[in-house]
Structure 1
Amino acid sequence: MSEPSSVPPPGERRMRLRGLHHVTAIVADLERTTAFYRDVLGLALTDEGDNDDDPGTRHFWFGDAAATPGTLVSFLEYPQMAEATDGRGGVHHFAFQVGSADEQLAWRDYLRDRGVPCSEIFERGRFRSIYFRDPDGNLLEIATA
C-alpha cells in the first residue's frame, strides 16, 4: 500500500476540506444534555434556539467560548423519538482531543468521580483513547493529540 500524497493528481480540482465544522446529535432532553456537556465536560453553551430546518425543534450548540468551528457539537431535542440502533449510516462515536496523556488520565478519574462510567486507557499507536457515554447513550472518546 502506498503512502497518501498531499498533492492532488494533475487536472483534479483544488477543493480542500479543512476539517470538521461541527457534529450534531439527537437527544431527548436539552436540560440534561446541558448539565452534562457544559457542567461536567466544561464546554461553553454558545447558542440556543430553534433549528432553522425544523422550526419548533430546540437546537443547542456547545464548544469553546468563541464558538470556533472545529470545537462545536450541537444537539437537536426530539423527546418523542425512539432510541437509535447501531448500524450502517449511523455515527459510532465522536472524539474530543486533549494535550497529554496526563490530562487524559485526569479526565478519566474526573469522570469516574462524577459517576460517569469510563473505560480504561486504550493504546492506539499514534494516540491513546478513553470512552464513555453521554446521558442519551452517545459514545464519546477523549483522545490524546
Structure 2
Amino acid sequence: MNIKRIDHIVITTQDLKRCLAFYEGVLGMEHREKNGRHALHFGSTKFNIHVRKGEFQPAAKYPTCGSLDLCLIADGSIEDIRRELEAKGAPIELGIVERTGAQGRIDSIYLRDPDGNLVEVSVYPQR
C-alpha cells in the first residue's frame, strides 16, 4: 500500500451558519450542499461538515466539536495572509511563527474556528 494524500476530513459543528461563515467568509472555501450533506471544498480536498455527533455512519468513535488541530497550506505571502485575516476580523491566536510542515519549514498563523478547532494557515517560503 502507498498512501498518497488526504482526500477529506470531517468537522463536527454546533452551529452550521457560524462554521460556514468562518470557512467560506474568512478562509475562502466553497460550500456545497447535496441531499442534506454539507461540504467545504478547496483545491483537491474537502471538509465534510456534520451538524450532529456521528450524523452519518460509520463515524469516529467519539466525535466532538473543537477537537481538530489542522494545518492548511496557502499560496502567497504570510504577511498578506495576516493582513487579509485582520481585515476580515478573524481573531489571530498566534503568528506569524516558524514551524515545520510535512515538506520542511513553514511560516504559520493560528486561529480558531467557531467550534474551537485550531486552524493553522501556513505558507512554504519561496526558495
TM-score range for the pair, normalised by the shorter chain length: 0.7 to 0.9
Q: Which residue among 86, 94, 116 is the counterpart of 2:70? A: 94
Aligned positions of 1:58-73 closer than 5 A: 59-64=37-42, 68=44, 71-73=45-47
Whole-Å separation in 2 of the counterparts to 1:18 and 1:94: 18
What amino acid is the match of 1:122?
Answer: V
What amino acid is the match of 2:40?
Answer: F
Q: Which runs of 5+ in 2 are unaligned?
A: 54-63
CA spacing shift, 1:47–1:18, aligned 2, 3 Å: farther
Whole-Å separation in 2 of the counterparts to 1:24 and 1:40: 19
Shift of 1:47: 3.4
Question: Residue 52 of structure 2 corresponds to which residue in structure 1?
Answer: 78
What amino acid is the match of 2:96?
Answer: I
* Higher fraction of strand: 2
TM-score between both structures, scaled by the size of structure 1 = 0.65
Q: Which runs of 5+ in 1 are unaligned?
A: 1-14, 51-58
User: Max radius of gyration: which structure?
Assistant: 1
CA contact 2:10–2:47 (8 Å) conserved in 1 = yes
Whole-Å separation in 2 of the counterparts to 1:48 and 1:61: 9
Shift of 1:85: 8.6
Question: Residue 3 of structure 1 corresponds to which residue in structure 2?
Answer: none
Whole-Å separation in 2 of the counterparts to 1:139 and 1:123: 16
Whole-Å separation in 2 of the counterparts to 1:143 and 1:48: 30
CA spacing shift, 1:110–1:45, aligned 2, 3 Å: same
Secondary structure in 1 matching 2:28: coil
- The superposition leaves residues 43-62 of structure 1 with CA deviations (integer Å, 9 ceiling, x where unpaired) of 11133444xxxxxxxx3111
CA contact 1:30–1:60 (8 Å) conserved in 2 = no
Report sequence identity in percent. 28
Question: Residue 142 of structure 1 corresponds to which residue in structure 2?
Answer: 121
CA spacing shift, 1:85–1:44, aligned 2, 3 Å: closer
Q: Comparing both chains, which one has the higher relative contact order based on Cα–Cα distances under 8 Å and sequence gaps of 6 or more?
A: 2
